[in-house]
Amino acid sequence: MSTESIRMVLIGPPGAGKGTQAPNLVEKFHACHLSTGDMLRSQIAKNTELGQEAKKIMDQGGLVSDEIMVNMIKDELTNNPACKNGFILDGFPRTIPQAEKLDQMLAERGTPLQRAVELQVDDDLLVARITGRLIHPASGRSYHKLFNPPKVDMVDDVTGEPLIQRSDDNADALKKRLAGYHAQTEPIVDFYKKTGIWSGVDASQPPATVWDEILKSLSQK
């Protein structure tokens, strides 16, 4: 894979370190980071047609359709200048039909996926990681009480604003999320293994080691 561009999916359970590694990938490859939550918020904020459709569904408590999500990704790839060197998809696809729709759309654009990297961590370690996680809401920067504490307790290093702990970052909620993640995502991993673009990285290691392993997996032909 050339270092000039990147087209990849980043797969991993909550707390595997996607939020730590995605910015590294963005910086190295000058690509765009497409996280499903951010894309939805951005399209709703810009009041686009897709955003209006998504908001209507979400306001009724429904799940935004695969069609809308794939179209949002397509819209970002077409209109976001940061995407011209490629993209890092995070949080999508979550199901086989989504992966198939995504592949089809990317094939039509002539920009197929090059890599699907899975950050692999045992559930027990994730519970320890997540229950100590602290977030700076405005930027999405994350810290950890044990592994990556802020310089000043409960305060963002950059802005000095207070950090929060998300309400769903507790052990019971997390175990439910992990069960859902495994049920949904393991088929995705098999899907990408079959297409030959999958690689797994042991994400229980320190972030710098995980980063080196990701780069190694990206440079494999």
Residue 92 assigned ligand-binding role = yes
Rounded Cα gap, residues 159 and 31, in angstroms: 25
C-alpha dihedral over 67, 103, 40, 180, to 10 degrees?
A: 90
Q: Does the annotation count 18 as an active-site position?
A: yes
Catalytic residue among 7, 18, 129, 141: 18
Q: Is 89 exposed, middle or buried (0-12, 13-18, 19+ CB in 10 A)?
A: buried
Residue 37 assigned ligand-binding role = no
Catalytic residue among 55, 145, 177, 193: 177
CA-CA distances (angstroms) from residue 99 to 70, 187, 219? 10, 10, 23
Q: Does the annotation count 166 as an active-site position?
A: yes
Residue 133 assigned ligand-binding role = yes
Residue 115 assigned ligand-binding role = no
Residue 205 assigned ligand-binding role = yes
CA-CA distances (angstroms) from residue 104 to 70, 71, 97, 108, 130? 10, 12, 11, 6, 35
Q: 199 with 115: CB under 8 angstroms?
A: yes
Catalytic residue among 28, 55, 74, 166: 166
Residue 7 assigned ligand-binding role = no
Q: Does the annotation count 177 as an active-site position?
A: yes
Residue 181 assigned ligand-binding role = no
Residue 20 assigned ligand-binding role = yes
Point out the annotated binding site: 15-20, 36, 41, 62-64, 91-94, 98, 133, 142-143, 166, 177, 205
Active site residues: 18, 94, 133, 166, 177
Query: Residues forming the annotated binding site for ATP?
Result: 15-20, 133, 142-143, 205
List residues forming the annotated binding site for AMP.
36, 41, 62-64, 91-94, 98, 166, 177
